[in-house]
Amino acid sequence: MRNTMPETGAFFPRDREMHPPAYAPWYKTTVLRSPQRALISLEGTKSEITGPVFGHNILNEFDNDLIVNYAKPGESPIGQRILVHGRVVDERGKGVAGALVEFWQANAGGRYRHKKETYLAALDPNFGGVGRTIADEDGYYWFKTIKPGPYPWPNGVNDWRPAHIHFSIFGHGFAQRLITQMYFEGDPLIWMCPIVKTIPDEEAIKQLIAPLDMNATIPMDMRAYKFDIVLRGRRSTLFENRKEGN
Amino acid sequence: MVQPLGYLRESASQTAGPYVHIGCTPNFTGIHGVFETDLGSGPLVNDKTKGERITVRGRVIDGSGTPLRDALIEIWQADADGFYQSPSETRGTADPNFLGWARCPGDMATGEYVFETIKPGRVPFRDGRLMAPHITFWIVARGINIGLHTRMYFGDEAEANAEDPVLARIEHKVRVPTLIAEREGNTYTFDIYLQGENETVFFDM
């Protein structure tokens, strides 16, 4: 973490017309899990503008290498080897130093390692599908993995998720808490997916699609995809005239 | 024409999906050997933590009255003196033996979550008035497109609750009790209703 004064401003309001609404009946599970009443607006108090910060002491050497972190010694998972990298920034473009980024995904065949998953594609004995990392001072993060496969899910009669990686991000305040999904450039399933289509804004969908990044590719080893994550910006406290202790 | 403002837009939220546990609580779902322990699991307290030990438990319930068995619940709270363990905490130093954050998956059979924590102290609102003791909750699950924020207040803090500036903002007073957990012994029960008659108040924070 940088040795600078911590920022204590309230976060910019969320654009709720860009985020998916709670109720999106084409994604069937939302029907019974969506609040029907309006959210109560609450400009950030200490409870929202503060948030937990995680130190590197929680990390092991291979937490951000899914090719290694579940594999037997000398073995590796089957699939397309890729590097996923990018920056966690806020809406002002400032890097979110120390952001904890957690990720999880299916294997190359679209099979998740989970008790409740019954898809007939095989598990990969050398692939767990979980990792985490902490962004550096500039908000930069990276991890190595296998490109996940699409998988079918019981929503419509014939719905398939595009290849995707789930992301969970902690910024500097609990109001920035975000879970999202990364998609891959050129996947035709993206524009058919009911979960993608919960996002009402086409530009916002495009912002979740990671481009192939040949400049970051490791020759003869792995290709790269670049995925930048934007968290809520925050106001400067320079202009906020409030009592101490807000 | 004018200069562009140049702000970026927040990345859109997507559902955490049914397998959120793989990424957030892998040991809970049977993936061992990657992380020694699941982040945020276990009690929030140790022998040296200041404050009154309490248990907070409950379920997240859908619009049909069925508990979710695949939700992930996170809490964020102040220490016994009302300080947050965060770089944005400028009023004082939080209890070094209290992180204030934890994560719990709903039980795969019953949907119940449980946190072993302490009762938080009071934290000032933006204008300096004291808020009543509260715990912030964040809920994600399959079928929840964007994480839901709410607050749990304490049933045995009637006086503080009556002067809480956030509860005071809720126009329909009949909804206030959805945020108040009743005490029994050292346990507070906080059931979160996503939809319907007793729908919990959720905040746009």
Residue B84 domain flag: yes
Of B63, B86, B145, the CB nearest to A53: B86
DSSP H or E run through B121:
none
Catalytic residues of A, by residue number, are 112, 151, 161, 164, 166
> What domain count does chain B have?
1
Query: Which residues contact residue A187 at a Cβ distance below 8 angstroms, ignoring those fewer than 6 apart?
Result: A150, A162, A163, A209
Of A46, A51, A131, the CB nearest to B124: A46
Residue B12 domain flag: no
| pLDDT tens for each residue of chain B, 205 residues long | 899 999 999 999 999 999 999 999 999 999 999 999 999 999 999 999 999 999 999 999 999 999 999 999 999 999 999 999 999 998 999 999 999 999 999 999 999 999 999 999 999 999 999 999 999 999 999 999 999 999 999 999 999 999 999 999 999 999 999 999 999 999 999 999 999 999 999 999 9
Contact status, residue B88 vs residue A47, Cβ threshold 8 Å: no
Residue B97's domain is classified under what CATH number? 2.60.130.10
Residue B1 domain flag: no
Q: What span, in angstroms and rounded, lies between the C-alpha atoms of A232 and A93?
A: 10
Which residues from A are below 8 Å from B35, CB to CB?
60, 63, 130, 132
The conformation of residue A57, written as its DSSP 8-state character, comes to G
User: CB A20 to CB B70 under 8 A?
Assistant: no
The conformation of residue A212, written as its DSSP 8-state character, comes to B
Q: What is the pLDDT of residues A42-87, one digit of tens each?
A: 988 999 999 999 999 999 999 999 999 999 999 999 999 999 999 9
Of B22, B91, B141, the CB nearest to A112: B22
pLDDT category at A161 given cuts 50, 70, 90 is very high
Residue with tokens 């126009």: B171
Beta-bridge partners for A110: none
Residue B15 domain flag: no
Residue B55 domain flag: yes
Contact status, residue A228 vs residue A91, Cβ threshold 8 Å: no
**In terms of DSSP H, where are the helices of chain B?**
20-24, 158-162, 165-168
Query: Which residues contact residue A108 at a Cβ distance below 8 angstroms, ignoring those fewer than 6 apart?
Result: A77, A78, A79, A80, A124, A127, A146, A147, A148, A149
Residue B153 domain flag: yes
- Structural domain that includes position B31: 20-193
User: CB A233 to CB B204 under 8 A?
Assistant: no
CATH architecture of structural domain A43-228: Sandwich (2.60)
Residue B24 domain flag: yes
Residue B115 domain flag: yes
DSSP secondary structure string, A142-156?
Answer: EEEEEPPPPEEESSS
pTM for this model (two decimals): 0.96
| B187 CA: distance to closest CA in chain A (Å) | 22
Structure tokens of A160? 């398939």
